[in-house]
Structure 1
Amino acid sequence: MISGTSHDGIDVALVGFDPVSGGGTLSGVVEFTATTPYAAGLRARLAAALPPAATTLAEVCELDTLIGRSFAEAAATAIDRAGPVDLIVSHGQTVFHWVDGTRVHGTLQIGQPAWIAERTGTPVLADVRVRDIAAGGQGAPLVCLLDALLLGGHLGGAVALNLGGIANMTVVRGPGEVTAYDIGPANALIDAVVASLGLTARGFDEDGRLAASGTVDQSLLAVLLDHPYYRLPAPKSTGKELFHLGHVEEAMARAGTRPGAADLVATLTELTVRTVARDVTATGIGLLVVSGGGCRNPVLMAGLRRALRDVTLRLSDDYGAPADDKEAIAFALIGWHTVHGLPGTIPAGTGARAPRILGSLTPGAGPFALPAPAPEAPHALTLRAVSRDTPPGTPRIARHPAG
């Protein structure tokens, strides 16, 4: 379970994992997926508390409880629809990622897991990022574990790109040859502008219509591209602590321009295209596997295809990981590793000193018996989605291009 940087709702994926005997391969079946929207009032409170806004410990405490209860209801609904589970992995909602240059000092995800355990009676693994940070890593992108296992056997290598609020990339050159990092904003800046100006009812550029109607402001784009974050070496991570509305306002002031709404959205969309295409091109790899809500934005995807003419673009759906649910699947995979005594990090991807077993466990209704530690970590993963359609009656929201 995860709510991403768009903070629009809770993504749930129920995945059954089984080792394939004798081959070092883990088989996964995506049995159920759903998205439950945050209540409008809760989402507004969350948005008002996020950086660069000031907030209080009282508000953080209340949001921790309210989001925890929302996750609990989403989990209970999924279990009612799809059957009992052995473990719930809750990423929660990121509210702050403490970054200083290329060093991460801390991260905070809220959504108290005790509410989930109490509501469902199922043990909950949460707080999955901070152990990697304590070991000197970025705590992100943790999805690189899934990418490495899923794409490691692809001849010639592959690049996995997730277009959420932030764009992150995993470069897989072969089994054990992985680098990963946050490129920069995917939809965070677009969303910030659309929401602040009230340009759409849903607060995002649905189907890229605003960007399609606008013209890129080249002087503003040049200033945005000149931000020092893009020149930092990997591994690196970022978030809305940096890429928020104030970032756009500062760039417009430096550029001496204030484009109209559609032109501004077009410019920010092109910023994502340019930064992603530059980094993908630098890898020299000819396959790009895309996931996240941004892959539903036709203007963004057309821009990437135009900028990456020699690269094959495919959706992660083609590899058994539905593009809208890939991050939830990745955290299910991390949970499987944790309960089997296996690290859920790849140091080459996060920059940590060594692999670490991730997360803190909240017991369910009774004792929790861990399975015997796995003799070795899987070297490959196959995924199969039983159904990519949510069963009728399950809460859904229209997919947000910020994922």
Structure 2
Amino acid sequence: MKVLGMISGTSHDGIDVAVVDFSPADGDPTALTGTVSHVSTVPYDPGLRTRLLRALPPRGTTLAEVCELDTAVGQAFAEAAVRTVATAGPVDLICSHGQTVYHWVQAQQAHGTLQIGQPAWIAEATGTPVVADVRARDVAAGGHGAPLVSFMDTLLLTGRPGVWAALNLGGISNMTVVGAPAEPVAYDIGPANALLDAAVLQRQAHPTGFDVDGAIAAAGRVDEELLGLLLREDYYVLPAPKSTGKELFHDRYLSDVLTLLARDVTTPDLLATLTELTAVTVAEQVQAHAVDHVMISGGGAANPTMLRRLTARLPGVELITSAELGAPPDAKEAIAFALTGWCTAHGVAATVPSATGARGPRVLGAVIPGDGPLRLPEPSAHGPRSLRLRSGERGGSGG
């Protein structure tokens, strides 16, 4: 089955897409192979991104604005799907994560999560069935609905020697630990690019809205007093499972910490300190689980300054990117949601309860039919226990 996976992450900058053709290995229905034939990123229109950012916490919004953004983001996802199919060929199914705009967590319990990007626009534009709203079922089962990528991480890493961590450095850093004596665990660690991007936008430090290649941070020095203030955040000491987002780590959060500092910090020093914050919080969690190998994905995998700081704080730990296991770092989550779509179509649960905190594994999402009658495959008698990704990749920026 050929599945198109789509997601816009917590950086809110565009839509990552991946086309993956999944098939069971000969003689072993529990061993799944995914051929990644296309990956790309389709940037949001600048006006849409600005409007989206203005509607996010801690700012207020209206139901009218949420409705209009749901349509506008859905249409952007539909356009990205049409472009992808035109380039990569027809697909059997689309799985759209959409755009997270709110993740409701109180007293360490997730009560709701909201992703916009109305999937009916995708089904209408492509004529292809769409799996969407993939996080809600895990939340309803008592989980955090995150990190859902832990399912693919576990399939990719199970059986490898040593203790592995799959580390995603998106707007928020999250980690899946596989190979320890206990069951796999996964949780959000803290900000990766969220506060860095907020600082760049506040200071108008780069026209892209982010620190390209970590160059600004590389020119600065870590402000130890500011770092100490940032590390006081209560979230870091909460036990897993746990999840967070830009509901906590947003631009006003950064402004409040700088107000506490009560003195000026240069932009390079601010970005160097925020980069160090990610390195410190990630390294503490990697060391707490006695991890031997770290597989890195997300936008932070392309930030050499962040990788240098992580390397310095993790002596003796092997750091690789997810590309070495067949998943391009900037497309890994899109590949993971393509896998989610395959599982949903085959009636297979695509969650790791020990990672999300749910009462048990769940089949995820709702299915929107395409042009014709909805025909799903026969349910799989055996869910996958391993995944091997290989490249048949074609793709580009999609811009």
Describe the SS at the equivalent of 1:90. Answer: strand
The one-letter code of the counterpart of 1:128 is V
Counterpart residue number, 2:220: 214
Distance 2:27 2:240 in 1: 35
Please point out which of 16, 20, 28 is paired with 1:11: 16
8 Å CA contact 1:153, 1:174 repeated in 2: no
8 Å CA contact 1:220, 1:257 repeated in 2: no
Please point out which of 61, 66, 71 is paired with 2:72: 66
Counterpart residue number, 2:275: 269
Distance 1:186 1:101 in 2: 23
Counterpart residue number, 1:401: none
Displacement of 1:85 after TM fit?
0.6
Describe the SS at the equivalent of 2:395. Answer: coil
**More displaced, 165-174 or 18-27?**
18-27
Distance 1:101 1:195 in 2: 31
Q: CA RMSD in A?
A: 1.2
Ranges of 4+ aligned residues in structure 1 off by more than 6 Å: none
Counterpart residue number, 1:26: 32
Normalised by the length of structure 2, the TM-score is: 0.96
Counterpart residue number, 1:114: 120
Counterpart residue number, 1:181: 187
Describe the SS at the equivalent of 1:390. Answer: strand
Distance 2:174 2:76 in 1: 27
Superposition pairs of residues 350-361 of structure 1, within 5 angstroms: 350-361=356-367
Describe the SS at the equivalent of 1:324. Answer: helix
Distance 2:398 2:233 in 1: 40
Alignment partner of 1:101 is 2:103: no
Please point out which of 46, 49, 58 is paired with 1:43: 49
Counterpart residue number, 2:3: none
Counterpart residue number, 2:380: 374
Displacement of 1:139 after TM fit?
0.4
Displacement of 1:175 after TM fit?
10
Alignment partner of 1:395 is 2:398: yes
Counterpart residue number, 1:400: none
Alignment partner of 1:385 is 2:391: yes
Counterpart residue number, 2:61: 55
Which runs of no fewer than 5 residues in structure 2 stay unpaired? 1-5
The one-letter code of the counterpart of 1:241 is E
Amino-acid identity (%):
57
**More displaced, 18-27 or 109-118?**
18-27
Distance 2:180 2:126 in 1: 40
Normalised by the length of structure 1, the TM-score is: 0.96
Deviations 1:209-240 (A, max 9, x none): 11111111111101111110000000000000
Please point out which of 7, 32, 52 is paired with 1:2: 7
Displacement of 1:250 after TM fit?
1.8
The one-letter code of the counterpart of 1:221 is L
Give the number of aligned pairs. 393
8 Å CA contact 1:31, 1:385 repeated in 2: yes
8 Å CA contact 1:175, 1:379 repeated in 2: no
Counterpart residue number, 1:346: 352
8 Å CA contact 2:163, 2:290 repeated in 1: no
